Structure 1
Amino acid sequence: MCKRKFWKLYTADLLRYAGKPERYIKKLLYFFRKAQTSSGINKLIYKFLLKIHRAKHGIELSCNTKVGKGLYIGHAYNITINERSILGDNINIHKGVTIGQENRGKRKGTPVIGNNVWIGINAAIVGNIKIGDDVLIAPNSYVNCDIPSHSIIFGNPCVIKHRDNATEDYVNNRV
């Protein structure tokens, strides 16, 4: 069962890349999905390999993070994703993105991100917020409020603009 789940998630991730993904991305996704779906000593081995690979490329991504199928990491460096965050299917994450936790106040907690979401370079998403499906988060945006589906987000504080098919031509090769 675990083997089947691994291959389903891993191949879905690779299908998101139009051509051939960079070798380090392929390895990162392989170790990430193996660490998620393995058990016992194999889980420990893949967690260790993931840890080494994450450190080498500056990507903080825990095998405990719930990530749907079709994860796309573009320009992968300096990415931080809190392990309690939940990410849906067909998520695009780019360089410098932070998906983090808020430690106090009314938004104490971590984000839940829907399906078909494009997150631009250096965007920060923090707190116990919900981001809907088909959302485009522009580069350098700071998001700390709930975002409805079919929206484009930009700026600090975040400005929300409704748009049907917001991620059309941004989130490609959906699985």
Structure 2
Amino acid sequence: MMAELSADLARQMAAVLPGRNSRGARLKFLLVNSEFHGVAIYRFGRLADDVRGRNRALGLPMVAAHRVLNRRVTHVHHLDIAAGARIGAGLLLMHRHGVIIGPSIIGRNCVIHQNVTIGQRVAGGDQGVPRIGDNVWIGPGAVITGDITVGDGVTVSAGSVLSKDVPARCLVAGNPARVIARDYDNSAIIGLGEAG
């Protein structure tokens, strides 16, 4: 869990503090950056669940602490990442407001903007969860629901409503979302350059 948190921290700091690596700038970031706080509390919740599975007496206070911290993040910052979500290292929240991540599987180095909803569709009995690949960029206001697979390197444009599978390296847009470009290179917008 610490490796994932370290990767999250590095990506968030690179996005927020490009070229400013002073000790003071880093400390201020750690104290006030609520996007990173939301991700850190999610990672703490995963750790608490893991500890509870191995040692109930030690894990229960951690789970309780996570619930209190998560409630604050949910109500103050309008950010909710479900304990059932499985998110790879390098998660970058660009804006925290209105981000709801329900049960889902999200790969490494995802970028998520404000007002994004990811989770089960539940309509029509669809209890499956989205599986989102590595290096995916999700724009403001996007909705990704249901038992779908979003391939590696996909870009989900702002305001898209995605409820069908998308192959790797595509640009999708619209409501309902559809592929508008294939072999789309999103490496610059997710901040990984060509090596991503």
TM tier, smaller: 0.7 to 0.9
Deviates more, 1:65-74 or 1:50-59: 50-59
Cα-Cα RMSD:
2.0
The Cα offsets for residues 44-64 of structure 1, whole Å up to 9 and x where unpaired, read as 212321221222111121233
Q: Report the equivalent of 1:163.
A: 182
TM-score for the superposition, normalised by structure 1: 0.87
1:50 pairs with 54, 70, 80, which one?
70
In the alignment, the residues of structure 2 paired with residue 126 and residue 28 of structure 1 have an alpha-carbon distance, to the nearest angstrom, of 21
Q: Unmatched 5+ residue regions in structure 2?
A: 18-25, 52-58
Q: Report the equivalent of 2:6.
A: 11
In the alignment, the residues of structure 2 paired with residue 70 and residue 8 of structure 1 have an alpha-carbon distance, to the nearest angstrom, of 9
Q: Given the alignment of the two structures, is residue 95 of structure 1 paired with residue 114 of structure 2, yes or no?
A: yes
Number of matched pairs: 169
Q: Report the equivalent of 1:110.
A: 129
2:172 pairs with 145, 153, 158, which one?
153
Q: Give the structure with higher Rg (CA).
A: 2
Q: Report the equivalent of 1:141.
A: 160
With a CA cutoff of 8 Å and minimum separation of 6, indicate the structure with the bigger relative contact order: 1
In the alignment, the residues of structure 1 paired with residue 141 and residue 98 of structure 2 have an alpha-carbon distance, to the nearest angstrom, of 9
TM-score for the superposition, normalised by structure 2: 0.79
Q: Report the equivalent of 2:92.
A: 72
Q: Which runs of 4+ in 1 moved over 6 A?
A: none
Q: Given the alignment of the two structures, is residue 35 of structure 1 paired with residue 54 of structure 2, yes or no?
A: no
- Greater share of helix: 2
Q: Secondary structure in 2 aligned to 1:99?
A: strand
- The percentage of counterpart residues that share the same residue type is 30
